[in-house]
C-alpha cells in the first residue's frame, strides 16, 4: 500500500515565479491538507481539501491556492513567489469519517527554495 507521495522532492524558483506542487493521498483517504514548515518550526496549516472543495484555510494569502481532483489527489499553487516562501511543503492525507481531520499521514515533502 503506497503511502502519501509528493512531487517534486526539491524545487528552485526565482522571486515572482509560480510553482505547482503535487500530492497523492494514501489509499482509502479522501482528505488532503497542506502545510508549510520553515526550518526549526512546526508545520503551518495552509488549507484542507475534501470532496474537491477547500474545507478550511489557515492564515495564508490568496497567492496560495489549491485544487483537489476526483481521485483525491491535490495540487498546491503558489503565485508571485517571495523569498519567504522558501520552506518544506508537506501534504497530509486522512479519512474524514465522522468528522474532524482524523489521523493524518504525511508525505515526504517538497523542499522549495526561492532565490
**Binding-site ranges for another protein (CB under 8 A):** 33, 35, 41-45, 48, 55-56, 58, 90, 100-109
84 vs 98, beta carbon nearer another protein: 98
Asked if residue 80 lies in contact with residue 65, where contact means CB atoms within 8 angstroms, the answer is: no
4 vs 78, beta carbon nearer another protein: 4
Provide the β-strand partners of residue 32: 49, 93
Concatenated DSSP letters of 38-87: -TTS--EEEEEEETTEEEEE-S--TTEEEEE-TTS-EEEEE-S--GGG-E
Q: How far is the CB of 15 from another protein (least distance, A)?
A: 26
16 vs 61, beta carbon nearer another protein: 61
CA distance 88 to 23: 14
43 vs 78, beta carbon nearer another protein: 43
Amino acid at each position: 500500500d503506497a503511502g502519501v507521495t509528493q512531487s517534486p522532492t526539491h524545487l528552485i524558483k526565482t522571486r515572482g515565479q509560480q510553482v505547482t506542487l503535487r500530492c497523492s493521498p494514501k489509499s482509502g483517504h479522501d482528505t488532503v491538507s497542506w502545510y508549510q514548515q520553515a526550518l526549526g518550526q512546526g508545520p503551518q496549516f495552509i488549507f484542507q481539501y475534501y470532496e474537491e472543495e477547500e474545507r478550511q484555510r489557515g492564515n495564508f494569502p490568496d497567492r496560495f491556492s489549491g485544487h483537489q481532483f476526483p481521485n483525491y489527489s491535490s495540487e498546491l499553487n503558489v503565485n508571485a513567489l517571495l523569498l519567504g516562501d522558501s520552506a518544506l511543503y508537506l501534504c497530509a492525507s486522512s479519512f474524514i469519517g465522522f468528522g474532524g481531520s482524523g489521523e493524518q499521514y504525511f508525505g515526504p515533502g517538497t523542499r522549495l527554495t526561492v532565490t
